[in-house]
Structure formats: C-alpha cells, structure tokens
Amino acid sequence: MEKLNNINEMFDAFEYGLTLPVPILVSDGRDGGEDYFMRCGDRYYIYLDIPSNLLRVEEPTDLSKVLRTLGDSQWRGLRLTECYRLPEYGGTETVADELVPPGWSNRVNQEVSANETFHHHNIYVPRLLLFREGAHGLPALYLVKGFNPPRFYLWDIDSNKICKIERPNVLQDILDTLEGYFDKLELSNVKPQCRPRRPK
C-alpha cells in the first residue's frame, strides 16, 4: 500500500490539469521503474515512472474490463493516448519551429492521436509531431512517433494508411529528408490487425 501511495509524491496531477489521482494498482515497469494505474475524475490513467509518461485509457472504459486487460496483456491490450503537461509546466514535446521542413506544420491537434486507427495497427501511444496539408495530388500526412519502442510513421489520413519509416530512424535525419525528397525514406506498410473506421 505504501508503494501505491507513492504516486502522489511522484506525479503532480495539477501539471496536467487533472484532479488528484486515486491509485488503484502498481506494478513493476519493464524499464526498471513502476507503472501506476489510477483514476482521475471519471477517466483512468497509467503513469509510467520510467520514462515518466502519463497515458489516458481510451478503451475500454469499464473498470472491470480494464483490469481484465491489464491482467491478460498488461497495458498493450488498451487503447491509450499520451497526456501532456500544461504549457506553464513545460508544455508538450514538439518539433522546434526552426526545424520544421517547408510545407509542414508543428501546430497539430494531439486529440487526433486518439483515433482508433493506431490501435488497430498496434501502434501504442502515438504522438503527432508534424502535419502536411494535402494539395496538388499529394495526400495529407502526419509524421507520428510511436511509443515503446520508439518508431516513426507517416499516416496518410486520406487513405487511412500508415507506413513505418525504416530508414532513417533518427528524427533529425527524418526532418532533413522531408525537406527534400520522399523517395529517400525507406518505408514499409503497416497492416491493420482488424478493420478500423475512417477518421473523421
């Protein structure tokens, strides 16, 4: 119980605009830290001590189903969205303005990452880094970073297809490539595990 209550010392809910957490479960994390399952308001969250990430449970929403999923496959059986601190507490991780390739924007709506498409493709806790408007026959694209292990993807929202960027696999190198030609990216299609609905 003492370890469970440590969440209030390690995690400041106010930095995320949340109410005080009600801890439910704690388990040993795979990276040497601890994973906390908790409730804030009427939503459920998982706080990863290492690497200090807060994840909101999107599906399932029923506590018994969440607990059953955690017992069967840990948090990988859940549809999760990463939460970010409020700007006054450090804001979100974004691509700096001076590094944004021409034609792309780092002003992205992170709520879009809750789209079930990522869950169906087994891409956990996606973070949207950049967006490019579709024009002149080119599709609208998001540059996406997946979590654990960190991988980068291109999401074509017109066709709802996702490609994993095999090479380069370092963000700065990817940004340099996006400034030039896409044919320098080595991509592989990510097949959905079940049929997702098209994004709205």
Helix (H, G, I), strand (E, B) or coil at 149: coil
Residues 141 and 59 in one domain: no
Q: Is residue 131 part of a domain?
A: yes
Last residue of a domain, one of 89, 110, 144: 89
Give yes or no for residue 126 having a pLDDT over 50: yes
Of 181, 125, 133, nearest to 156 (Cα)? 133
> Does residue 114 share a domain with residue 71?
no
Q: Looking at the 3D structure of the chain, how many domains does it have? A: 2
- Cβ–Cβ < 8 Å for 83, 127: no
Q: Which residue has the higher pLDDT, 125 or 146?
A: 146
Q: What is the pLDDT of residues 46-89, one digit of tens each?
A: 988 877 788 889 889 999 999 988 876 667 788 888 887 775 56
**Are residues 120 and 173 both part of a single domain?**
yes
**199: pLDDT strictly greater than 50:** no
The confidence band for 24, taking pLDDT boundaries of 50, 70 and 90, is very high
- Our measurement of the distance from residue 194's CA atom to the centroid of its chain's CA atoms, rounded to an integer in Å, reads 19
Question: Model confidence over 169-194: pLDDT tens digits?
Answer: 888 889 888 877 677 899 999 887 65
Q: In percent, how much of the chain has pLDDT > 70?
A: 82
Answering whether pTM is above 0.85, one says no
pLDDT at residue 195 tops 60: no
Upper half-sphere CA count for residue 150 (Cβ side, 13 Å): 7
Query: Span 31-53, mean pLDDT?
Result: 84
Q: Which one of 67, 89, 111 terminates a domain?
A: 89
Q: Are residues 109 and 164 in the same domain?
A: yes
The pLDDT confidence band at residue 26, using thresholds 50, 70 and 90, is confident
User: 178 and 146 in one domain?
Assistant: yes
Q: Which residue has the higher pLDDT, 145 or 120?
A: 145
